[in-house]
């Protein structure tokens, strides 16, 4: 009998060119149909060990513990703050976008003394500003940075800031939610102590897991706290016991999500890290060429543009919501609105993982060539697709 009050789900399929989630790889969907068994059973533990090993390859680390927390990307960042910080700790965080500000707020809620190094939205942060701030403080517990600022489309260079953190005996903490699996994230070479990401972006898995890498220095800090972490669920020292060799129970693991990320990581490594990074860069460059050929302005720092997210200024007189609605309804394409101080001023176009294809970016440009003139902004029809096609052909 069909339930009349609560019908079966009927959610439209779309091409997800937003800031996340992105389209899930078909092989990942297939993996999620694998039978659910106990998370402590011998037959399941190779899944946990395999995920940890593959994460180490993608994070490029041989020194850190790698695991996938049962949480979204934001949960992964907050777990780091909850596990590393205690009331009164001094923290220095770079602020150059919406998610930088979120990291700072997470640290404040742990009772930390949060020092903000202010940068300009859509520009990378000058390491000298961090150096100047660090000199003002006797003791700094950690330095926090966002690698891929999703709100502005900027990729923040990290190596110099990591060196500065080490000079001041501070842990270096990174939010790599948007970059991991689509851009290089070199944990050992960059000297990162704690880094977390999300399953729903370049890994092309459903939301719900936060891949992470934790250095021995960070684990030592967690183990030497004066008080236990205020969050039992996000206590990474406890969770590490499940991901370690003894697989000690902490909470019920999301079995199907773990099957998903296992397969997602296999796909990443089959493509090869360098080939995957180049694909994201190539498609982003073609998209930018097409948008600029339509007379649209990309607002991010030209020298530090993120391959995954392209922020575009909304032309004067064009209604933000109308364009996004028409893309969704008429072309089955999702893009994202602006956040924070860019709300209503930009669109954010994502090309991540499974969705980062030449076909998708050309379809979007073709759709914009049709929609924008009808919304009062004339564009040279065909110019966007032609410019992107030329960029793809020459790459």
pLDDT of residue 4: 77
By C-alpha distance, which of 261, 201, 200 is closest to 27? 261
The alpha carbon dihedral of 250, 254, 215, 118 has a sign of: negative
- What are the structural domain ranges in the chain? 26-269, 273-394
The distance from CA 117 to its chain's CA centroid, rounded to whole angstroms, is 21
For residues 354 and 201, is the Cβ–Cβ distance under 8 A?
Answer: no
d(CA 229, CA 309): 34
pLDDT of residue 395: 84
Evaluate whether 26-269 and 273-394 have a shared fold.
no
Specify the DSSP element, H or E, that contains 28.
helix 26-31
Alpha helices in 252-375 (DSSP H): 255-271, 273-293, 320-331, 358-374
pLDDT of residue 74: 97
d(CA 310, CA 328): 18
Architecture of the domain made up of 26-269: 3-Layer(aba) Sandwich (3.40)
pLDDT of residue 1: 56
Contacts of 63 (CB under 8 A, 6+ apart): 187, 188, 215, 216
For residues 212 and 187, is the Cβ–Cβ distance under 8 A?
Answer: no
d(CA 82, CA 352): 29
By C-alpha distance, which of 201, 245, 258, 213 is closest to 70? 258
For residues 164 and 64, is the Cβ–Cβ distance under 8 A?
Answer: no
For residues 287 and 273, is the Cβ–Cβ distance under 8 A?
Answer: no
For residues 312 and 295, is the Cβ–Cβ distance under 8 A?
Answer: no
d(CA 192, CA 374): 48
The distance from CA 187 to its chain's CA centroid, rounded to whole angstroms, is 15
Class of the domain covering 273-394: alpha beta
Angle at 187 between CA 185 and CA 192, to 5 degrees: 120
What spatial distance separates the first Cα and last Cα of the chain, rounded to whole Å? 56
Contacts of 72 (CB under 8 A, 6+ apart): 198, 200, 207, 208, 210
By C-alpha distance, which of 194, 184, 225 is closest to 65? 194
For residues 384 and 294, is the Cβ–Cβ distance under 8 A?
Answer: yes
Contacts of 3 (CB under 8 A, 6+ apart): none
pLDDT tens per residue across span 186-208: 999 999 999 999 999 999 999 99
pLDDT of residue 3: 67
d(CA 62, CA 385): 43
pLDDT of residue 58: 98
pLDDT of residue 5: 87
For residues 261 and 205, is the Cβ–Cβ distance under 8 A?
Answer: yes
**Exposed/middle/buried for residue 126 (C-beta within 10 Å: 0-12, 13-18, 19+):** middle
Q: Which residues of the chain have pLDDT under 50?
A: none
Strand pairing report for 346-350 and 309-313: antiparallel
């Amino acid at each position: 009998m069909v339930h009349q009050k609560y019908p079966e789900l009927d959610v439209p399929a779309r091409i997800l060119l937003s800031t996340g989630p992105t389209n899930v790889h078909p092989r990942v969907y297939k993996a999620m149909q694998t039978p659910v068994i106990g998370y402590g059973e011998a037959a399941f533990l190779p899944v946990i060990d395999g995920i940890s090993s593959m994460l180490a390859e993608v994070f490029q680390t041989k020194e850190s513990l790698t695991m996938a927390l049962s949480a979204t990307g934001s949960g992964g960042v907050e777990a780091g703050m909850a596990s590393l910080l205690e009331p009164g700790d001094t923290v220095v965080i770079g602020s150059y976008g919406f998610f930088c500000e979120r990291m700072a707020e997470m640290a404040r809620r742990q009772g930390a003394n949060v020092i903000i190094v202010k940068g300009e939205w859509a520009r990378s942060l000058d390491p000298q500003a961090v150096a100047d701030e660090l000199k003002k403080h006797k003791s700094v517990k950690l330095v926090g940075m966002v690698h891929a600022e999703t709100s502005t489309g900027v990729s923040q260079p990290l190596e110099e800031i990591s060196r500065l953190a080490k000079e001041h005996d501070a842990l270096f903490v990174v939010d790599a939610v948007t970059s991991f699996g689509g851009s290089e994230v070199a944990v050992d070479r960059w000297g990162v102590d704690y880094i977390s990401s999300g399953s729903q972006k370049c890994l092309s898995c459903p939301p719900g897991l936060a891949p992470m890498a934790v250095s021995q220095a960070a684990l030592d800090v967690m183990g030497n706290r004066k008080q236990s972490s205020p969050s039992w669920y996000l206590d990474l020292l406890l969770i590490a016991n499940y991901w370690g060799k003894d697989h000690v129970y902490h909470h019920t693991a999301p079995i199907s999500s773990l099957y998903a990320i296992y397969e997602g990581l296999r796909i990443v490594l089959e493509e090869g890290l360098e080939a995957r990074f180049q694909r994201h860069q190539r498609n982003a460059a073609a998209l930018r060429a097409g948008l600029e050929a339509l007379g649209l302005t990309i607002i991010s720092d030209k020298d530090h543009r993120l391959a995954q997210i392209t922020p575009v200024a909304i032309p004067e007189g064009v209604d933000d919501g109308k364009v996004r609605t028409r893309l969704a309804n008429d072309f089955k394409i999702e893009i994202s609105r602006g956040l924070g101080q860019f709300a209503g001023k930009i669109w954010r176009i994502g090309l991540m993982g499974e969705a980062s294809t030449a076909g998708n970016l050309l379809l979007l440009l073709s759709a914009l060539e049709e929609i924008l003139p009808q919304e009062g902004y004339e564009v040279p029809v065909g110019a966007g697709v032609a410019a992107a096609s030329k960029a793809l052909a020459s790459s």
